[in-house]
Amino acid sequence: MKNLSFILLFVWAMLPTQMIIGQFANGDFESSSSCSPTDCNESDISCIEGWWGYIPNSPSDPDAWYSYACQSNISCGDLRGIRIQGREAGEFLAATRNPYFLDDPVSTVVLQFDLLPIQSDGPDQWRVSVWGSDVATDANLTNLHFLGSQDYNGAALVCVPMEVLLEEGVNANDKLATTFDYLVFGLDFIPPVPPLPPGNELRSLSGVIDNLEGCLAFSLDIVESGCDDTVCVQLSYDSQCLSVGCPDEIGFGCLVALTLLDGQLNVLSTASWNVILSNFNYELCFDSSNPNIAQIAVQLIYTLDGQTIDETYLLPYTYGGCGQYVVSSNESWSLDEHPDFSNYQEIRVQSGNSLTIESDMTVEFCEGGKLVIEQGAELELHGTLTSVICDSICWQGVIVDGDGTSSQDYINGYTQGYFQGKPGSVIENAIVGIDLRGENGTGGIVKCEETNFRNNQIGVKFSPFTNTAYFGGQPKAYNASFRNCDFKTDMSYQECAPFVAFAWMWGVDGIPFTGCHFTREHNVVNADEVTDFGYGILSIRSGFNLVSSPERDSYVNGLGYGVRVAQYSAIKPYYVRKAIFEDCYVGLAGSFSSFGTVVENTFLMGTAPDNFQTKQSGIILTGNQTGFEVQENTFISNKTNATATFGIISDDLGDMNNVIRKNYFMGDLFAGNQAIRRNGVQNFELSRGLSYECNENYLTEASNQYGFDFFIGEYPSTTIRKSQNAFSDQGKFISTGNLFSRNNPSKGDFNATFELNFDLIDYFYFDDQPIPDLQKPKQYSGIDKRIVGTRNFCLSTYCMPPCLITVDLPLRKADFASHRTLLNTAIANNDKVASIYHKSETDGIAGLIAQYYLYDTLSYSNDSLKQWYRNMEAITGQLLVSGQLLAEGDFSQAMSTINSISTSYAMSQRQIDGLNDLKTLYSVLNASKADSLTTGQRATVLAIAIDDGSLASPPAKAVLMLNGYHFDPVYYLDVKQSRIVEPSQQDPLSNENRLHVAVYPNPATEELYISMEQEMIGDQQYVFELIDMQGKLVVQEPLNNARLNVDLKSKSLVSGIYVYRIMDDEKVLDSGRVVIK
């Protein structure tokens, strides 16, 4: 706690020759709200705004103080003044707020006003007195503290200028003029007063004051730095307010003396200085870390009207240090009423109590200070929480304590700690503005509206917590909200720690950010990583919503990653809608993060935050994903310092039918869409993967840059879905509906580079459209056949999750079963169109139902969720199952699921190595918490993370982000010149044996023979693979000397259709279909 201290001030004064106008409310008394005495409250001079009758209902003449305000033009100004009346005639005192009320500084106040003496039954003598008061009205006159007076001897009804120097307290019990909320004006005779005439009981004494002004002559401030235990005494003089001289006996200049005292007024040290008052500002600083220093004595000597005046003033002062305060009852802090601390090391709101910090209150914390909201306690913030004003000093922030085993529902109050940020509130200069990982558990509640998070290393931080309904125990969204909040760093950012993120989330679900702005403006010195510029939202295994409010769109500016979503086990869905991303290195990046919805956003690029890295992208999706919606977003590039800008990058999304649909690409983008690595599988009948539909490109040619509408590859094993088309509800191919730019023929509409001819795509377009030819690729590579399809009307199709309601769930499950049956029939009948269509439908329905269970809070079932992941019948689905099992704590089943993937699906050695890496990662997570890895464990996970292209790399990076690692985006810009390819004259849906491989007999019964032309073998090592219709690898044998005989009887294969592949390392050189009976 702080020590009570005093300042001792010795001052000699004289009257001023000039005045500076003060800030009194209605000092000329001309603003009135009413002129009818019946409209006035008994304690309120309502006819003169900002003034009160200090003595309510004075018995002698309760309405007298109205008369000059309303009924008569008797004043020294225009129309009105304020009447005061002497004590013997029934006293009337007038009160107003003190415009010189100051929380800490000490000042000498000089007042100037005009007095119009009205009546005196005694001698023509008037004394105007000024008192200080802490209240506006007081019938008993117990709160008055005399401050100063001025006398007049003369005739009545003459305007007389009056000046009053408000005397400061002359002993330890007196108070300063600047410490009172109100100033009170009254009138009296000048003592001694002559005896009353015989028979008279009262004398009448009245007058009117007008044209009230004021100024500060001497100002004395005691300032604690809060940074290094330094206290400074600052003394200044205003010669325009008060003209003084210096005593001859002192010589040149006046005298200032400062003395340090202990609590018993014993002198610890003293010093004095001669000063020149014509231009006087003085500061003395000393180390206050010695707790014995309890008081400061200040002496100032000067002359007034040629006389040396020696007066002593003792001023209260609270000695600082970093206080600790416990809120053990419901409290409200304001500028007028708060604990007597300059700054704090800790404020603790105890359980069951609340603290309200009003809008006029700023609470400062020392380095490492904190505000703790215990379980069951509440903080309502209207004001400001900040650090002491020092370079590179940050406080710890607000810690909201929670109970990880309790619900966040309101049941006769909250059991969790509860923070409310009200409009205009500010949290700044903290390590973590609001930390929801409490001292005893997670789950603290936070709700903010128009709160400002400024210059914090992390604005708000969430730690793992699963909210459940109090009744029923079903999981539900985290109880938190942020509406129209501003998260910002500016040029005053304290470099006590590098900026990380405005919102940091781990292991939570459903955090809503509505109409929030995330803006980085501070300079990042010596930046060499994109992540040096921080994240707007960093979401690790978490779900959230970033959407617009009716008042404003969400806005993200100047960051390394505007939004970064990273998953490593159980999936948490997220959606981002109607947000504006401007000048970020990456607008939104999602890795291993299925079920994201990103729609109707705007991505503005071209100006990179710094010149060390000059590539930018709107959206990057990385790692096996499904169930996402990326639709109706706009990407605009107008390059200044950026050298390459990308709209959407799809990187290794896996084997599910994913769609990038109905987005708009404008300006000087390097590429509207880029796809690299494995984004699909090409198994003829089961061709599935990434497709592009209804995207509109309006790219302009950029000097010395490319400008691809679609840029596929170049990277080993890059694939997308072979059939680039949409489907009608009858299962027929319709055109993609994509529009090409046509601005720069040399750059290419669709530039795809595949390792294998087998991966060349079939592209469906519509050739009868309002603007001819914009759907037909002309400058392209990687397209085998350009095929005319039916028109795609490109209607809006997205929905905001959850996209399925409970009553429709049985219908969609029935649809899934129907399409799966038809899929098997189509495969058996070699109906390629039907098989691709029905597989697309089963993928979509399985994803829709899985999304339903992810959002369901009424009948949520982990088993149902995992089953619909399995129903996807894909590597991606099985990875989702394994991650869910790990999150549930079933490590054994998670590992078993991973083991089953390589035996159930045809995989390259590279993919199998990735599965082994994933098993290693999950083993680490089974042994340690994800954010608390040992040095050895971090090294193990880092080796996986930096193996770019491994399916385990994205989740490994997510885990390392919890351990302080950050990863920049990886760009692939290798380009092969586009070429003109004429349309194929073959059947649009037929396939050719490109490598002249013979597989016979077909159908086969006991043996299967494979042969290749001898000159094709050379020194290469080829492998023959046979895969069943469920994607399971059933035969894998080396193909040597251009021939291979497979003994089918020994393989115990069931009758049916199989797919064969000829492999060269990881490359599929040829594939086809064979029937085994």
Pairing mode of beta strands 4-11, 160-165 = unpaired
- With a cut of 80, say whether residue 415 has pLDDT above it: yes
**3-class secondary-structure state, position 783:** strand
Q: Is the pLDDT score of 63 beyond 60?
A: no
Instruction: Tell whether the model's pLDDT for residue 909 goes beyond 70.
Output: yes
Angle at 524 between CA 522 and CA 525, to 5 degrees: 130
pLDDT for the residue 57:
59
pLDDT at 3: 30
| 157-183: pLDDT as tens digits | 889 999 888 865 433 345 677 788 899
Q: Which amino acid is at 552?
A: R
What is the CB neighbour count within 10 angstroms for residue 412?
Answer: 5
Q: What value does the mean pLDDT take over residues 1008-1024?
A: 67
Whether the per-residue pLDDT at 632 is higher than 80: the answer is yes
Q: Is the pLDDT of residue 207 over 80?
A: yes
Query: Partners of 273 in the beta sheet?
Result: 256
For residues 901 and 875, what is the distance between their CA atoms, to the nearest angstrom? 7
Instruction: Show me where the domains of the chain are located.
Output: 81-189, 218-316, 643-798, 997-1076
Least Cα distance to 51 among 142, 136, 111, 128 occurs for 136
Going by pLDDT thresholds of 50, 70 and 90, the confidence category of residue 43 is very low
Close Cβ partners of 892 (under 8 Å, ≥ 6 residues apart) = none
Cα 958 from Cα 883, distance rounded (Å): 13
What pLDDT score was predicted for residue 991? Answer: 32
Question: Within 13 Å of residue 914, how many CA atoms lie on the same side as its CB?
Answer: 25
Strands 517-520 and 554-557 turn out to be parallel
CA dihedral 626, 632, 637, 638 (to 10 degrees): -160
Alpha helices in 328-436 (DSSP H): none
pTM for this predicted structure: 0.71
Which whole-number Å values give the CA distances from 526 to 320, 456, 523, 529, in the listed order? 38, 20, 9, 9
Share of the chain above pLDDT 90, in %: 38
Note whether 218-316 and 997-1076 share their fold: yes
CA angle 758/761/764 to nearest 5° reads 150
In this predicted model, which residue has the larger pLDDT, 714 or 637?
637
Between CA 536 and CA 503 the distance in angstroms is 6
Burial of 703 (0-12, 13-18, 19+ CB in 10 A): exposed
Classify strands 596-599 and 511-514 as parallel, antiparallel or unpaired: unpaired
- What is the pLDDT averaged over residues 226-232? 67
**Is the pLDDT at 704 greater than 70, yes or no?**
no
> Quick check: 695 and 662 in contact, CB under 8 A?
yes
Given a cut of 80, whether residue 796 has pLDDT beyond it is yes
* Mean pLDDT calculated for residue range 828-850: 86
997-1076 — its CATH code? 2.60.40.3080
Per-residue pLDDT tens digits for 380-414: 999 999 998 776 789 999 999 999 889 888 888 89
| Backbone φ/ψ region at 4: left (φ over 0), alpha (ψ -120 to 50), beta | beta
What's the rounded Cα separation, in Å, for the pair 145 and 142? 9
Of 118-122, 995-999, 1053-1057, the range with the lowest mean pLDDT is 995-999
List the alpha helices (DSSP H) in 408-459. none
Percent with pLDDT over 70 in the chain: 80
Fold of 218-316: Immunoglobulin-like (2.60.40)
Contact between 181 and 99 under an 8 Å Cβ cutoff? The reply is no
Q: What pLDDT digit, counting tens, does each position of 259-313 carry?
A: 777 767 788 777 777 776 665 677 777 766 666 666 777 777 777 767 776 665 5
Say if residue 1025's pLDDT is above 80: yes
